[in-house]
Amino acid sequence: DADVTQTPRNRITKTGKRIMLECSQTKGHDRMYWYRQDPGLGLRLIYYSFDVKDINKGEISDGYSVSRQAQAKFSLSLESAIPNQTALYFCATSGGPGEQYFGPGTRLTVT
């Protein structure tokens, strides 16, 4: 089984809908991250969390919220999806300096 899993893997939704992307990990890491990847822009950090009581905004948090339900679970929500949130979303964990373990990604399309 994969160490970092994301659900759903693909999602098409309409403008204005609320959507939640979920991430689970079995690596026992405290640090978890949400990124989005757009062509030509690389991965950009949305939110990160050191533990269940610590949530921090990344460089592009507007329009997103997160919930750290447990050490192993970190969810990303789009309260009212808009087309420019169409992207590939990655969850990642980190147990030490430098190395991040990524989930397989969620491809989100907002029409």
Partner 1 sequence: RKEVEQDPGPFNVPEGATVAFNCTYSNSASQSFFWYRQDCRKEPKLLMSVYSSGNEDGRFTAQLNRASQYISLLIRDSKLSDSATYLCVVSTDGGFNKFYFGSGTKLNVKP
Answer yes or no: are the C-beta atoms of 93 and 27 closer than 8 Å: yes
Cα separation values, 75 from 32, 41, 97, 98, Å: 10, 23, 23, 22
How many C-beta atoms lie closer than 10 Å to residue 14's C-beta?
11
Considering the rule CB under 8 A, would residue 73 count as an interface residue with partner 1? no
Among 5, 7, 65, 94, binds partner 1 (CB under 8 A): 94
Closest distance to partner 1 from the beta carbon of 16 (Å): 28
Q: Based on CB atoms, which residue is closest to partner 1, 2 or 17?
A: 2
Q: Fill in the amino acid letter for 57.
A: K
Indicate the residue type of 101: Y
Supply the minimum distance, in Å, between the C-beta of residue 40 and partner 1.
Answer: 6
Question: In the numeric block, which tokens belong to residue 103?
Answer: 């989930």
Task: Name the one range near partner 1 by CB under 8 A: 18-26, 60-68, 71-79, 100-108.
Answer: 100-108
Site residues (CB under 8 A) for partner 1?
31, 33, 35, 40-45, 48, 50, 56, 58, 90, 94, 96-100, 102-105
